[in-house]
Structure 1
Amino acid sequence: MKMPKNNVYTVSRLNGEVRQLLEGELGRIWLNAEISNFAAPGSGHWYLTLKDNFAQIRCAMFKGKNRTVTFKPANGQQVLVKGSISVYEPRGDYQLIIESMLPAGDGLLAQQYEALKMKLAAEGLFAADTKRPLPSKIQKIGVITSATGAAIKDVLHVLARRDSSIEVVIYPTQVQGDTAADNICRAIQLANARLEVDVLLLTRGGGSLEDLWCFNNEELAHEIYNSALPVVSAVGHEVDTTISDYVADVRAPTPSAGAELLSQDAESRAERLAGFIARLKQGWQHYQLKTEQRAQALENRLHRQDPKRKLEQFQQSFDEMQIRLNAAINDKLNRSALMQQNLDHRLNQQSPRHRLTLESKRLDYLSARLNDGIKGKLHDVEMSLKNSAHQLETVSPLATLSRGYSITQDESGKVLLNAQDVHSGDTITTKLLEGELKSRVI
């Protein structure tokens, strides 16, 4: 086999280039998923897995970032995270480096709002040079809003007070709910088809981000941008800003301010100045948005080249080894404890204490048998001794003497059985039951 001369990678080089490729192509992303395998070692970093019903990805959130999280993550919790795709080079695993984390639901609308704003800005829908000027003489205003809401009442009240000659055409529509954006689009289309008014005022009262969500619709943004009639957006309160405010030709902070902007009186110059200021602010916001985009791109490039990422890789590797070491130590301790239990059990089974107890019982049993045997033997010996004594007593000379008999011995102590065994002059001794007699034979 011929060895290739070029493009021979080491594993480290391959993983490093894959990491740079992933980080450069995808950049930062948002991910909505469920937490599992959450771990927070002593280093302060977080390691977890994000999953849905069909797939999962390993993630890391380092100490400097997770301090901003306002809740305690838990397994099974649904979260919305922002981060960048990377590769953990020592193991060759691709993973998500998390920069921010929110509970799912909280912040999801805000993230979608920011994503749509960035997209439409890139498409040029917010550009100041595309804004249409308002007519110098406004005689008829088309108001797109709810026919029963507070906004239309405020608009009619301001117009009646400032310039009662202005005619108002109301294009009633929903301004809240899932179908509201489609209804508003149809109202704009209807107004452009009729061309019966000089300008359109898109308005409603204030509310939460969810309440105003229909004004953050991409189709509605394109409808406003493509409208032949100038559009003034006066949605919510002064602090509320929607996508329709960015796309519209002029933005008014409130419904009443929108009506004042479109009506002419002694204050028209000031109001026109306010409109110019609003357009200036809008242009500045557009410039600021482009600057933020460029800064974000530069930050992404810097992020990919940041040596801190390499340090984070080492920290993650260290934490992983620490987790594995702790697991190995715990496993070793558990196995040692189990082995000790088994040895204790075997030692108890082989303990001489049980053997000694058994032998002690056996010794007591044998001692009892020995005592019984000794007693029996002594009794037998005693009985035998008594029998022997009785027999001895029966044949004893003393017994014979006690019956009146006597024993006669010569001088040498020989018992005389025949009178012829002695001679005249011999001394003989006669033993009686009590005492003895010495005699001389004559």
Structure 2
Amino acid sequence: MSNPNIYTVSRLNSEVRLLLENEMGIVWLVGEISNFSAPVSGHWYLTLKDSRAQVKCAMFKGSNRRVTFKPQNGNQVLVKARLSLYEPRGDYQLIIESMQPEGDGRLQQEFEALKMKLAGEGLFSQIGKQPLPEHPQRVGIVTSKTGAALYDILDVLKRRDPTLPVVVYPTLVQGDEAAIQIAQAIGRANERRECDVLIVGRGGGSLEDLWCFNNEIVARTIAASQIPIISAVGHEVDVTIADFVADMRAPTPSAAAEIVSRDQSHKRQQIDTRLNKLRSAIQYFLSGQQHQLTKQLHALEKQHPQQKLNEQSQRLDELDSRLRNAMQRQLNQSQQHLERKQHRLERHSPTEKLSGQKIKLSVLEQRLKTAINRDITARQHQLAIAAEKLDTVSPLATLMRGYSITKNEQDKVLTKTSEIKKGDTLVTRLSDGEVRSTVI
């Protein structure tokens, strides 16, 4: 056992867990929820599966508090997770850090991936941004010819600078073909060189509605444009990849029109422009810092005691589940054993035997009564015969025929006269009584 190449099971699982966590890091995963459970500890345990495979997952309560929906079996979700290994069982699992429905989550994941990719290539850098012309001679608008954004831009330009020429490059701004058409419209404007600033955008909408402005083709076309471009997509809260790549971001299409139009507030517009640039720079800087902070937090979490507590809590949940199952099995077995004993007891119950014995006793009692009656009758018959015989030899019968019996005072039967003397008292026994007499 002193050989360092010989592993114990605990050491093997511990090193495999560290290897998985350090090498794989954070992964994004799409799958269907099954076997979802939420014990009293507050943690969530589930399985993510597709048509060919599955993986066990745990989401501790510190993370699942941020989930904005209630997961259920059958939900398709996108999760951000850390690959790990549950050492007590040797099962590899995912520790989920965030979860969202697959549709929104997938688009957000693609957004973040493209954002990091283009940022890494320097497409968001302020160094490559073109300054807007101080006094535009002609403004190009790349948007839908029937959309509200076009009418908002034209209305602002007409109100603020009605002499400013406008060229519209119509295009789809929603759907599968929109990204190609937007890129073609920007390319067409660059080929014609008839505008010195372009407004590219549309009105507000959902993430799916604005998705063409998160397309890599559109982003690279904007970055390669020789004409300065103002991105004016959606409302102020909407942010797209086009906003980061463009030379300037306007919070709305109307705001973009105000930026390019000339009026007495031109200086304020310049300030707003610089403020927008500053905001973009700060946002880009904060995005980078957030990314670094996230990496550092992940590294810290690997060493944080909360991870051990989560693992122990998961182990406790598992043991609690096993204990409940064992107790239920034991209870079921005891119930079955009790039922078998009760059945056997019923089969050997004295009630049936007692009932049989009662019947038997009743029969015997009847037989005894019959035998006693028969015996009494027989004995009465015998007694009658004996009485008759006794009566035959009884002295009373003799007395009834006229005979008597004489005794002296000593109760001696007298049979001779010589046995009597003068003055003796005699007792004569007749059939119906006694007579006393004195000899004279």
- Aligned 8 A contact 1:224 1:247 in 2: yes
Equivalent position of 1:175 in the other structure: 173
- 1:31-67 deviation per Cα after TM superposition (whole angstroms, max 9, x unaligned): 3333332333343333222222322211222233333
Bigger mean CA deviation after superposition, 309-318 or 339-348: 309-318
- Aligned 8 A contact 2:55 2:93 in 1: yes
**Which of 224, 230, 233 is the equivalent residue of 1:232?**
230
Shift in Å at residue 258 of structure 1?
Answer: 0.9
- Aligned 8 A contact 2:190 2:225 in 1: yes
**Which of 255, 258, 268 is the equivalent residue of 2:256?**
258
Equivalent position of 1:353 in the other structure: 351
Shift in Å at residue 373 of structure 1?
Answer: 3.4
- 1:236-289 deviation per Cα after TM superposition (whole angstroms, max 9, x unaligned): 122222221111111111112111222234433332332222122112211111
Shift in Å at residue 81 of structure 1?
Answer: 3.0
- 1:370-429 deviation per Cα after TM superposition (whole angstroms, max 9, x unaligned): 223333444455567667878999x9899x99xx9999xxxxxxxxxxxxxxxxxxxxxx
**Which of 256, 265, 280 is the equivalent residue of 1:282?**
280
| CA gap 1:375/1:72 in 2 versus in 1, 3 angstroms | farther
Equivalent position of 1:425 in the other structure: none
1:84-233, aligned counterparts within 5 Å?
84-105=82-103, 108-233=106-231
Q: Structure 2 CA distance, aligned partners of 1:186 and 1:383?
A: 143
| CA gap 1:390/1:229 in 2 versus in 1, 3 angstroms | farther
Shift in Å at residue 233 of structure 1?
Answer: 0.5
Q: Structure 2 CA distance, aligned partners of 1:95 and 1:13?
A: 18
Q: Structure 2 CA distance, aligned partners of 1:13 and 1:354?
A: 67
Q: Structure 1 CA distance, aligned partners of 2:198 and 2:31?
A: 42
Shift in Å at residue 291 of structure 1?
Answer: 1.3
* 5+ residue gaps, structure 1: 408-431, 436-442
Partner amino acid, structure 1, of 2:314: Q
Partner amino acid, structure 1, of 2:282: W
- Does 1:325 find its partner at 2:323? yes
Partner amino acid, structure 2, of 1:114: E
Shift in Å at residue 433 of structure 1?
Answer: 11
- Does 1:30 find its partner at 2:38? no
Q: Structure 1 CA distance, aligned partners of 2:132 and 2:104?
A: 38
Partner amino acid, structure 2, of 1:94: Y
- Does 1:75 find its partner at 2:70? no
Shift in Å at residue 147 of structure 1?
Answer: 0.6
Shift in Å at residue 222 of structure 1?
Answer: 2.1
Equivalent position of 1:291 in the other structure: 289
- 1:302-325 deviation per Cα after TM superposition (whole angstroms, max 9, x unaligned): 222323323322232232222212
- Aligned 8 A contact 1:128 1:286 in 2: no
Q: Structure 1 CA distance, aligned partners of 2:67 and 2:154?
A: 47
Equivalent position of 2:332 in the other structure: 334
1:307-322, aligned counterparts within 5 Å?
307-322=305-320
- Aligned 8 A contact 2:77 2:105 in 1: no
Equivalent position of 1:302 in the other structure: 300
| CA gap 1:51/1:159 in 2 versus in 1, 3 angstroms | same
**Which of 243, 246, 252 is the equivalent residue of 2:244?**
246
SS in 1 for 2:123: coil
- 1:106-132 deviation per Cα after TM superposition (whole angstroms, max 9, x unaligned): 655444433433333233221111212
* 5+ residue gaps, structure 2: 404-429, 434-440
- Aligned 8 A contact 1:139 1:165 in 2: no
Q: Structure 2 CA distance, aligned partners of 1:41 and 1:166?
A: 66
- Aligned 8 A contact 1:41 1:323 in 2: no
| CA gap 1:333/1:6 in 2 versus in 1, 3 angstroms | closer
SS in 2 for 1:240: coil
Q: Structure 2 CA distance, aligned partners of 1:128 and 1:296?
A: 24
Give the aligned CA root-mean-square deviation in angstroms: 3.7
Partner amino acid, structure 1, of 2:43: H
Give aligned-pair identity as a percent. 51
| CA gap 1:351/1:263 in 2 versus in 1, 3 angstroms | same
Partner amino acid, structure 1, of 2:90: G
Name the TM-score, length of structure 1 as normaliser. 0.81
Partner amino acid, structure 1, of 2:41: S
- Aligned 8 A contact 2:67 2:99 in 1: yes
- Aligned 8 A contact 2:131 2:247 in 1: yes
Q: Structure 1 CA distance, aligned partners of 2:325 and 2:306?
A: 28
- Aligned 8 A contact 2:202 2:232 in 1: yes
Bigger mean CA deviation after superposition, 328-337 or 106-115: 106-115
- Aligned 8 A contact 2:143 2:150 in 1: yes
Q: Structure 2 CA distance, aligned partners of 1:103 and 1:377?
A: 103
SS in 1 for 2:155: helix
Q: Structure 2 CA distance, aligned partners of 1:157 and 1:353?
A: 103
SS in 2 for 1:232: strand
Partner amino acid, structure 1, of 2:347: Q
- 1:159-211 deviation per Cα after TM superposition (whole angstroms, max 9, x unaligned): 23333343222121222234322332232233334333322211212233333
| CA gap 1:263/1:351 in 2 versus in 1, 3 angstroms | same
| CA gap 1:137/1:64 in 2 versus in 1, 3 angstroms | closer
Partner amino acid, structure 2, of 1:333: L
Partner amino acid, structure 2, of 1:48: L
| CA gap 1:237/1:306 in 2 versus in 1, 3 angstroms | same
1:407-418, aligned counterparts within 5 Å?
none
Equivalent position of 2:271 in the other structure: 273
Q: Structure 1 CA distance, aligned partners of 2:251 and 2:225?
A: 21
The alignment covers a number of residue pairs equal to 420
Q: Structure 2 CA distance, aligned partners of 1:15 and 1:205?
A: 54
